[in-house]
Amino acid sequence: MPTDVYQRITDQIVAELEKGVRPWLKPWNAEHAAGRITRPLRASGIPYRGINVLMLWAAATAQGFNAPLWLTYKQAQELGGQVRKGEKGSLVVYANTIKRTEQDEATGEDLEREIPFMKGYTVFNAEQVEGLPAHFYAVQEPALEPVARIERAEAFFTATGAVIREGGDRAFYSMAEDRVQMPPFVAFKEPEA
């Protein structure tokens, strides 16, 4: 994996663009599954800005996260939480400038210049962390009456032993993590879906 932050960001954006958009009819209500679109938030509730918004939206979409809150490993620990074993964090960047005063060799005058820099660090979505205060996991109440589950289907899925996680507005199988990701059951229009 490239260590240059600029290259890592570029690689992530290019990978998302190369996936393209495949229109298909989802058998669930995405509005019901994911709530309203919101900017990704720091643990303090302050929204991320700039390229971090796009990078965290892409990470949330790819991994099926519903929660808008993101924390560093240290922040999770300070709040009494623990990142689940095997979870992979997402890259965010901090960009700023450093002011340097240098002496002009020709005139001897002090010149102040600003040098831009960017530093990358890793954050985890609240859904990747166990033991956080309850408000980190708050989910909006369903707007529709939930449909009844099909008992035989539930028994089948339980018997497979597959890791099935609910959240987000996409359904997929992750070979890398050997798990199935589904929107919340209450988001489906019919139990057969």
Instruction: Specify the pTM.
Output: 0.57
For the purposes of burial, counting CB atoms within 10 Å of the CB of 132, is it exposed (0-12), middle (13-18) or buried (19 or more)? buried
What integer pLDDT is reported at residue 144 of this predicted model? 46
What integer pLDDT is reported at residue 127 of this predicted model? 93
Collect all residues with Cβ–Cβ distance below 8 Å to 50 and sequence separation of at least 6.
95
3-state secondary structure of 159: helix
Alpha carbon dihedral 143, 147, 151, 152, in 10-degree steps, equals: -110
Domain extent listing, the chain: 5-187
What integer pLDDT is reported at residue 48 of this predicted model? 93
190 secondary structure, DSSP code: S
What integer pLDDT is reported at residue 73 of this predicted model? 97
Q: What angle do CA 58, 62, 65 make, to 5 degrees?
A: 90
3-state SS of the chain: helix, strand, coil percent to 5? 30, 25, 40
Show the tokens assigned to 184.
């919340």
pLDDT in tens, the chain (193 residues): 456 777 877 787 777 777 663 333 344 445 444 445 578 899 988 999 988 988 898 888 888 888 889 999 999 999 999 999 999 999 999 989 999 988 888 888 988 989 998 899 999 999 999 999 988 876 555 544 555 677 777 778 788 888 888 777 777 788 788 888 887 776 666 666 6
